[in-house]
Structure 1
């Protein structure tokens, strides 16, 4: 999953350690027009079908391409597709590829490649599995067109093919798409605006993406992941930094041009730094923090005990403790589907307000008898700070809390087991959480997914959401799902916020997005 666990000052990015000063020599040899960027971490997985890791998604949006793409309003637009049509009964969907699409090795993109790519990606994605279940046949008609023949209508066809959350439904050559989905591709050949230079890759130090000279952009203006993607630089250098403070200082010295995540405690200094701009957007471009609960292990196997937490998680206190400035946070947000987003709702949230005395009384009325709540925390991360705030409120209400600190890898290993943990704190991209079909803790209801939350009403409502014919119907069903979710309590939100990016003022036309995007940018 695309969980983020960034440290406030010490997020390690790969195994390399660089000197704290002079990380990049300003006068070192570089391409005629290149930019140096520091992303959230080093790219180590090149396969956008294989993982939900956000860093692989960023790599994927530059090297690969998708049939459809999401714009800044959350609408889905054609990307690799030139035209499409549906039958009156909504059971036949025909798609035609744009002319001039080529893989990075020069070969043309074909409908057969796309069919193979979709067949590889679909089993690894919740929406993809729903589409596959609705599909009777997926066939290539000729080199540039293919057809879905459905068993029943699937109104979310375009939303599925253009989804912005990982794993991305990127297209790849058929020979790569034949790689089993549980095995990673190691040679990233896409048709996107940039291509990977394997000969210049230095693990732990530098990855180079160069402009794809064969890429044919769409004619529309760029809009988030949709529209034209005209590359105006020759080379994109992805640098690895040992920690956030080193990266922030390199940005202020002009040694790098862009840094994806700035440390909150350095924002005042960065805001005053000459030649540095900050980028922080709202709505779907923000993050959603969650405490994920283990429904298979005491005490949270009791739904009444889980629901007490709604009176103990105060988003304002958490975000203040983390150090998120007011302009980079949303007010107390009750919506599982994010606030200032298409499906935002307050349904079922009446009890979600801080009230420690009421929580104490509720807890006494449950079956809770002092069982320790084992809270897994990622050392040095902002999610650990969020956990510390909740833990104190829980103790004040009568819970016994065992806070256990570890790295993110250990959390991943621990959470895979159904016992030995009660909850962990994490945050995720808003684009992952804006829909019941992509929200990690709702889409996985009654599935074999860490936390193992289950209410049989939810899968049926998810199916109704997928089959809804209109936005209004989807909003209505999303509100029903949230009402059940507040009763089930698969997770408890701890805040909606932005981690601002920083970039040098000599960069022009940088797309304003929480996703790093380096088409259109110039210097």
Structure 2
């Protein structure tokens, strides 16, 4: 049986089974049901940069600013702000009436503690922290951010929706160890986390926050009025793609956040189903090495990954039809404002002998290397297998270890040697909004222990990244990005594996999904 016929058969059988359930228990119209791409394991969006945790974080928390559909920062929790003439003091006043879900008012004490914690964890937060002299509360609603030197990107940073996001928590939660995830879920956002109905591996529930007062501006990306138009949002965890596809057709779910590329033609042809994009930039795929341990503590071994791998094989394995993917060696996304490929010309095609040479020069002698991955996100699991096959061609002894996605992301934070619970490699992908800027690209932060999982360390790259921030105008910033990219191509914090488009699928009864870095559910209506 061909793959397409097998998919259709699985789809049809599952659809009949779910149709019976749908007819027996019709879904209430005020409950929006989603099949997300992964299960929710980590509740703290400052501790984890993974998409599912960011989606969760932006449901229940808010940030001082928010990015619109064009990734431009707009005030969110902030009512007004100003800068001093020397650009070293930024004064912010919070909107009146902001309240946490437990009834406490949001104050500048909460804000300062939250920002201080975020600056210790996030890529752009860490950069803002380098520029920050201090923060001072003037009263309950007004505080001052004092800088050591001017930084024009302050509102952009404070509205970040990528990496570890600068959500505002209660002071008591934010004052905890930034290296340990907060387990409380008390925010001030438009939804409340329903912990009583949370079933790990099965269901995550959010209820409308009746005390939330949205901004008056129209919704635009993550900015503007966050008006909730349903009473409840349920994430129904469906690791099996055929089950999710069938559930969408029968109305068991209203939105499939990341439909499998295999099933997109089937889903798109289904009655009352629409397949659409919700992001303006493609996603980036990466092979991330651990720079703490041999052999990838040596940049020659990391560069060997570039010569050993063929982007097309990864992308075809993960996402199927080439209509949905393209080769690209730009760390900052082809098609984005910083999409240069400078310095990558030498390994546009695999060179296995060069890869073997670099590995030998790095001192690699065939030791077992652990590649941690999961089939919970099917494309990632398939690409991990492609990675193992390609790396074995250059003599790398790859041990692929599968587990659930939550375990993989937890293990990614483990700095221990691979034989003590750590790792050497993983395959993942990130949104174009995350990767398009040197300030938000989590993988190109090479600030050693302050970097994202993998912890690459390169003083020259960090100096050049700082030059991007300090650039006085667009021309200087473009030149700084080019110089930075050439350095990244040499030291390879990760192997860029190209980029792909990820649509979502919805029932025709659903409308109002906003273009944003991650999918959120305010403004969404269900007929």
Contact 1:62 1:517 in 2 (8 A): yes
Q: CA deviation at 1:21?
A: 4.2
Per the alignment, do residues 263 and 215 of structure 1 end up closer, same or farther by CA in structure 2, a change over 3 Å counting? Answer: same
Q: What corresponds to 1:208 in structure 2?
A: 205
Deviation sequence 1:40-93 (CA, Å, 0-9, x none)? 233333322232232121111111111011122221111111211101111111
- Alignment equivalent of 2:124, drawn from 127, 133, 142: 127
In structure 2, the residue corresponding to 1:383 is in which secondary structure? helix
Q: Provide the alpha-carbon RMSD of the alignment.
A: 3.1
Deviations 1:439-476 (A, max 9, x none): 23321343376545333211211222233333443332
CA drift at 1:419: 5.9
| Alignment partner, residue 67 of structure 2 | 70
Residue 143 of structure 2 aligns to a residue in which SS?
A: strand
| Deviation string, structure 1 residues 189-221 (Cα, Å, up to 9, x no partner) | 222111223344444433332222232222332
| TM-score normalised by the chain length of structure 1 | 0.85
**Structure 2 segments unaligned to the other structure (5+ residues):** 1-6, 8-15
SS at match of 2:58: helix
2:331 to 336, 345, 364: 336
2:365 to 364, 371, 386: 371
Superposed CA offset, 1:338-393 (max 9, x none):
1222211121121131144xx42674587458833736152544234334445555
- C-alpha distance in 2, partners of 1:108/1:411? 33
Q: Does 1:399 align with 2:367?
A: no
- 1:51 corresponds to 2:48: yes
The 1:244–1:73 alpha-carbon spacing in structure 2 relative to 1, beyond 3 Å, is: same
Question: What is the CA–CA distance in structure 1 between the aligned matches of 2:247 and 2:518, rounded to whole Å?
Answer: 21
Q: Post-superposition shift, 1:518?
A: 1.0
8 Å contact 2:258–2:504 — kept in the other structure? Answer: yes
The 3 A distance-change label for structure 1 pair 337 and 246 is same
Q: Which of structure 1's runs of 4+ aligned residues deviate more than 6 A?
A: none
Q: Residue in 2 aligned with 1:437? A: 439
State how far apart, in whole Å, the 1-side matches of 2:424 and 2:382 are. Answer: 17
User: Per the alignment, do residues 333 and 24 of structure 1 end up closer, same or farther by CA in structure 2, a change over 3 Å counting?
Assistant: farther
- Distance across 1 between alignment mates of 2:197 and 2:392: 53
Cα gap change, 1:294 to 1:104, in 2 (>3 Å): closer
Cα 1:342/1:29, change in 2 over 3 Å: same
1:349 corresponds to 2:344? yes
Question: Is the Cα contact below 8 Å between 1:294 and 1:418 reproduced in 2?
Answer: no
Alignment of 1:14-93 (within 5 A): 21=18, 25=22, 28=25, 33-93=30-90
Deviation larger for 478-487 or 130-139: 130-139
Gaps of 5+ in 1: 1-8, 10-18
Answer yes or no: is 1:178 the counterpart of 2:171. Answer: no
Local SS of the residue matching 2:511: coil
**1:384 and 1:191, CA in 2 relative to 1: closer, same or farther beyond 3 A?**
closer
Alignment partners' CA distance in 2, 1:113 and 1:389? 46
Among candidates 493, 503, 509, match of residue 490 of structure 1: 493
Residues 1:30 and 1:265: Cα distance change in structure 2 (over 3 Å): closer
- Whether 2:261 is the aligned partner of 1:264: answer yes
User: How much has 1:337 moved relative to structure 2?
Assistant: 0.9
Change (3 A) 1:251 1:245: same
Matched, 1:146 2:143: yes
Cα displacement string for residues 451-506 of structure 1 (whole angstroms, at most 9, x for unaligned residues): 45333211211222233333443332222111011111221111211333211111
Aligned residues: 501
Contact 2:161 2:517 in 1 (8 A): no
In 1, Cα distance between the equivalents of 2:328 and 2:462?
A: 24
Matched, 1:480 2:475: no
Contact in 2 for aligned 1:217/1:228 (Cα 8 Å): yes
1:437 Cα deviation from its structure 2 partner: 3.1
More helix by share: 2
Instruction: Please give the per-residue CA displacement for 1:174-201, whole angstroms capped at 9, x wherever unaligned.
Output: 3433344344444322221112233444
1:310-325 pair list within 5 angstroms: 310-325=306-321
Q: Contact 1:155–1:469 at 8 Å: present in 2 too?
A: no
Query: What TM-score, normalized by structure 2, do the two folds share?
Result: 0.85
The secondary structure found in structure 1 opposite 2:448 is coil
Work out whether 1:522 is the aligned partner of 2:525: yes
Query: Is the CA contact 2:65–2:76 (under 8 Å) kept in the aligned structure 1?
Result: yes
Alpha-carbon separation, structure 1, partners of 2:185 and 2:455 = 34
1:170 aligned counterpart, secondary structure: coil
Would the alpha carbon gap of residues 94 and 312 (structure 1) be closer, same or farther in structure 2, given more than 3 Å must change? same
* Contact in 1 for aligned 2:286/2:429 (Cα 8 Å): yes
Structure 1 counterpart SS, 2:97? coil
* 8 Å Cα contact 2:62-2:168 kept in structure 1: yes
Given the alignment of the two structures, is residue 197 of structure 1 paired with residue 168 of structure 2, yes or no? no
Given that residues 374 and 408 in structure 2 are in contact (C-alpha distance below 8 angstroms), is that contact kept between their aligned partners in structure 1?
no
Q: Quick one: distance in 2 between partners of 1:116 and 1:424?
A: 33
Partners in 2 of 1:387 and 1:202 — Cα distance?
28
Contact persistence 1:324–1:497 (CA under 8 A): no
